[in-house]
Amino acid sequence: MIKKLSKFIGEYKLQTIVTPLLVALEVVMEVLIPLVMADLVDKGIYEGQMNIIYKIGIELVIMAMLSLFFGASNGFTAAKASAGFARNLRKELYYKVQNFSFANIDKFSTASLVTRLTTDVTNVQQSFQMLIRITVRAPLMFAFSLVTAIQINLQLAMVFLIVIPILAFGIFLIIRKTHPIMKRTFKMYDKLNNVVEENVSAIRVVKSFVLEDEETDKFKNVSNTIYQNFSTAEKTMAFMNPLMQLAIYSCIMVVAWLGAKIIVNSNMVALTTGELMTLITYSMQILFSLLMVSMVALMLTISKASADRIIEVLDEVPDIQNPSKPIKKIKDGSIEFNNVSFSYINDKNKECLKNINLKIKSGETIGIIGGTGVGKSTLVNLIPRLYDVTEGELKVGGVDVKKYDLDTLRNNVACVLQKNVLFSGTISENIRWGDENATDEEVERVCKLAQADDFIKAFPDGYNTYIEQGGTNVSGGQKQRLCIARALLKKPKILILDDSTSAVDTKTDALIRKAFKEEIPNTTKIIIAQRINSVEDADKIIVMDDGEINGIGTHEELLRTNKIYQEVYESQVKGSDSNE
C-alpha cells in the first residue's frame, strides 16, 4: 500500500525528504535547551555570575530562534508536500474514474466515489503530514530525552521507565476500543453522501410527492448514526487527557520528591537544582512524545481504511481498453450484430440480450420499439463500447468495435441518451461539447436541425444564455433538443437517439426527423422511441421483447405480421382517438 501511494509524492520529493531533517534539528534544539537551562541555574544564577548568565542567555535565545526557524520551516515544507501529495492522488483518482467503463462505475456508487475523492484523500493527506513530521519528531524526542535523562541521573530516570509502560498500556486500550468505531464511522460517510446526492438530484420528485419530512428523517437517521459513533469514540478518547495528566504530574511529583532528597543528601554533588529542573522538563517531553506516537498510530490505523478504499479505485482495471494497435479510421456507419449476447454481471443465465443478429446499412434510419426493460438501451450502448458484448461480435464499418481506437469510435458514434444532461455554462458552450472548435455558423446550423434555434433566439441573451447546473432553467423538451444539437455537432457517422424526443410535441418531433432525412442522409440514425409515429417513417423498425428481436420490418409490414407492434399501435391509436 505504501509503495503504491508513495509514487504520488512526485515533484514534492525534496520537501518530503527535507521535512524530517528539519524536524530532527528542531528536536535537537528542544532537547539541548533544558541542558543549557541547567547550566544557567547551576553556574549562573546559583553562583551569581552575571557574565555566565548573559553568555548562556544569549545561547538560549539563539537556540530558541533556531528551534523556531526549524519548526516553522518543517511546518511549511510538510504542508506543501502533503498538499501536493493529495493533489496528485486526487488527480489520479479522477482520471482513473474518467477511464472507467459503465461496468466499472457500476461497482462503485457515485456517493462512494465522491467520498473517496474527498474525505478519504483528506484522511490520507493528514496521515502523510503526520508521517513526515510527528512520526519523526515523537520517537526522536522520546529517545533523546530519555537517554539524556539517564545520563543525568539513572535513579530518577527509572521513574520514567516505570510510568511509560503503564501509560502505553492505557493508551493501547483506548486506541483498541476507538479504532473500530472510527473505521465504521468513516464508512457511514458513503451512506450519508448517497442520501444527500439522491435527495438533491431528485428534489423535484421529493417535492411533488411532498416527502420532504421522510427524506429529512432519512438524513437524520444516517447523521445520528455518525454522531453516536463519533460521540462514543470521543468519550473513550476523553480518557486520554486525564490519563496523560496523571502520568505527567505523577512523574513530576516523584522526580521532584526523589530529586530534592538526592540534592539535600549529596549536598548537590549527585544532582544539582538545574539538573532536577531539566529532568522535570524531560519528563513532560518523554510522556508527551508517547502521547503523540499514540495519536499518530490512531490516525494511521483510521487512514488505513481510507487508503484501502483509495487503492480499490486505483487497482480497478477498466473493462474496456484500447487494443495494442488500434484502428483510427471508420469507413462508414454500417452496423452488424452477429450472435450478440450481453449480461451486466457476465452471467449466461442472466443475459439482457440474447442472440442478436442484425445488419444495418450505412445511412439507414432504424427505429427500435418495445416495452420497458426489454434491452433497447442496452443494445445501442454496445455500439460505442459503453459496454462490451459478452458473446458474439459487433462490427461498425465492417470492423469489430474492439479493434477501434476508443476516441475514434466514440467520436463517430454520437449518443443522446435517455437522461439528458447539460452542464453549467452558456448554450453555445454546451453545444460545443460536440466540437470545441466549431464556428458560430456550425452551432446555429445544428440547432436549426434539432429545432432549437427558435427558442434559443427567444432568450434575451440568445446563444449566450447561461444554463444552470443540470439545465434546470430550461424545459425538458428544450433540454432534449439542445442535447440533440450537441450530438449533431460531432458530425458522426452513427447517431443514436435513445427516447430523446419524448418531451417534444409530435409536430416538432416530425420536423426533427424531416431535417435528419434531408440534411444528414449519409448518417446512420437509430431512434429508440415509445411513440410509433416517431419511428413509422424509418427504413426498418426493430421490435424487441425480453432481450430478443421479435420482429424486423417497415411500419406496414409489422402492422401485418407482428403481434406486439399491432398491440402497441392499436393502444396508441385508440388513446389518441379517445383524447380527441
| pLDDT higher than 70, residue 48 | no
pLDDT band at 578 (very low <50, low <70, confident <90, very high): very low
Query: Going by C-beta distance under 8 Å and a sequence separation of 6 or more, which residues neighbour residue 519?
Result: 449
Q: Do residues 180 and 151 share a domain?
A: yes
Say whether both 114 and 84 belong to one domain.
yes
Q: How many C-beta neighbours within 10 Å does residue 325 have?
A: 8
Instruction: Round to whole Å and give the CA distance between 65 and 219.
Output: 51
Query: Does the pLDDT of residue 567 top 50, yes or no?
Result: yes
Instruction: Summarize pLDDT for 475-511 with one digit per residue, the tens.
Output: 888 898 999 999 999 889 999 998 888 778 888 888 8
> How many alpha carbons fall within 13 Å on the CB side of residue 218?
15
Alpha-helical segments (H) within 238-367 = 240-266, 273-315
Q: Give the confidence band of 100 by pLDDT, cuts at 50, 70, 90.
A: confident
Residues 469, 455: Cα–Cα separation, whole Å:
19
Report yes or no on 578 lying in a domain. no
CATH no. for residue 124? 1.20.1560.10
Q: How far apart are CA 182 and CA 178, in angstroms?
A: 6
The model's pTM is: 0.70
pLDDT, mean of residues 368-394: 90
Please provide the average confidence, as pLDDT, over all residues in the chain.
86
Residues 155 and 254 in one domain: yes
pLDDT band at 576 (very low <50, low <70, confident <90, very high): low
- Supply the pLDDT for residue 47: 66
* pLDDT at res. 580: 47
Secondary structure (3-state) at 370:
strand
CA distances from 361 to 162, 233, 334, 397 (A): 86, 65, 5, 9
Q: Which residue's entry shows cell 508517547?
A: 290
pLDDT at position 357 is: 94
Residues 160 and 237 in one domain: yes
570 lies in a domain? no
From first CA to last CA, the distance across the chain in angstroms is 68
Which pLDDT does position 420 carry in this prediction? 76
Residues 303 and 341 in one domain: no
User: CA nearest 443: which of 458, 454, 427?
Assistant: 427
Q: Indicate whether 92 and 232 sit together in one domain.
A: yes
- Domain-ending residue, one of 265, 282, 315: 315
- How does pLDDT run across 273-311, given as a tens digit for each residue? 888 888 888 888 888 887 787 777 777 777 887 888 899
Give 74-86 pLDDT, tens digit per residue.
999 999 999 999 9
Return d(Cα 35, Cα 339) in angstroms, integer: 84
Query: Does one domain contain both 302 and 358?
Result: no
Whether 162 and 213 map to the same domain: the answer is yes
Q: With CA atoms as reference, report the closest residue to 384 among 535, 539, 499, 490.
A: 490
Number of domains in the chain: 2
Question: Is the same domain home to 86 and 193?
Answer: yes
Radius of gyration of the chain from its Cα atoms, rounded to whole angstroms: 36
Looking at the structure, do residues 113 and 252 belong to the same domain, yes or no? yes
Question: Would you say residue 539 has pLDDT above 50?
Answer: yes
Considering the domain boundaries, does residue 517 fall inside one?
yes
Q: Do 245 and 394 fall within a single domain?
A: no
Query: 59 and 184: one domain?
Result: yes
In this prediction, residues 162-173 reach a mean pLDDT of: 83
Element (H, E) at 50: helix 50-98
C-alpha cell at 529: 422511441
Residues in the chain: 580
The verdict on residue 577 lying in a domain is: no
Q: Decide if 564 is inside a domain.
A: no
Cβ proximity of 405 and 327 under 8 Å: yes
Structure confidence at residue 68 (pLDDT): 93
pLDDT at 96 over 70: yes
pLDDT score recorded for residue 397: 93
**239, three cell numbers:** 480518557
Q: Where in the sequence is the domain holding 390, given as residue range(s)?
A: 335-555
Res 477: pLDDT: 87
Residues with Cβ within 8 Å of residue 353, at least 6 apart in sequence: 340, 341, 342, 375, 378, 379, 382, 547, 548
